[in-house]
Amino acid sequence: MLRNNLWMVAIGRYDELAQAVLAHDGPVRLVGIDGCAGAGKTTFADRLAGAAGQAPIVHTDDFASHDVPIDWWPRMLADVVEPLLAQQPATYTAYDWVNRSAGPTLRVDPAPLVVIEGVGACRRAWRDELAMSIWIETPREERLRRGLARDGEELADFWREWMAAEDEYVAAEDPESYADVVVDGAAFMEGDADNEFVIVRATAAVRLPRCHEPG
């Protein structure tokens, strides 16, 4: 359904989303996949990257840390976004969440499509440099449930503190409102979940060829 130049509730395909991104001017096209913890960003990023021929993925969790959950962005801008847009390799030190210290040095080479995935992936600092920005919207209760199921109830306090930090980022930058595509991260796909996803809202400019209203 097209309403006010936005597509409301439709089914999209990862391969066609990849094609839509690659239709943008290159040679390097950055895609931001943003959303709060537990929304389903990593799963979405993996599927999109696979549909794009195993495109490289940069995770914002490699830049965040226990002490700096949100305000790590200047390092990503300098170490990842700017080099890749200049067709240079991105080299950065990933955070080791287990040992709470600097982890391995990672390198991402320029590619036709590079995914930036995680909380803050569509920050204002590089929003205009993205070929496409995607927001994964999932109810807070479901995100917390997923997180505790993965990490354990003993981390409930950490999760709630983390979610509070995310709330500050969302309130300050409102990434959902600027997203080209908003995806339902809680939707259950009865069809081909590995290849299809539910679009809550998308700009008409990025409408995918086979998008259709469910039901």
The answer to the question of residue 211 being in a domain is no
pLDDT for position 210: 52
Looking at residue 60, what DSSP letter applies?
G
The answer to the question of residue 92 being in a domain is no
Q: Which pLDDT band holds residue 3 (cuts at 50, 70, 90)?
A: very low
The tally of domains found in the chain comes to 1
Residue/partner pairs of 99-103 with CB below 8 Å, 24 or more apart? 100/65, 100/66, 103/62
The answer to the question of residue 44 being in a domain is yes
pLDDT for position 143: 93
The answer to the question of residue 167 being in a domain is yes
The pTM of the full predicted model, rounded to 2 decimals, is 0.90
CA 59 to chain centre: 9
Q: Which phi and psi angles does 49 have, rounded to 5°?
A: -60, -40
Q: Which domain holds residue 44?
A: 2-57+112-206
> What does the pLDDT look like over 70-128, one tens digit per residue?
999 999 999 999 999 999 999 999 999 999 999 999 999 999 999 999 999 999 999 99
CATH number at residue 134: 3.40.50
Contact between residue 134 and residue 39 where contact means Cβ atoms under 8 Å apart? no
Contact between residue 81 and residue 63 where contact means Cβ atoms under 8 Å apart? no
pLDDT for position 187: 81
> What does the pLDDT look like over 132-152, one tens digit per residue?
999 999 999 999 999 999 999
pLDDT for position 11: 87
The answer to the question of residue 163 being in a domain is yes
The answer to the question of residue 86 being in a domain is no
The answer to the question of residue 70 being in a domain is no
Q: Cβ neighbours of residue 106 under 8 Å, at least 6 residues apart?
A: 62, 91, 92, 93, 94
> What does the pLDDT look like over 24-50, one tens digit per residue?
998 999 999 999 999 999 999 999 999
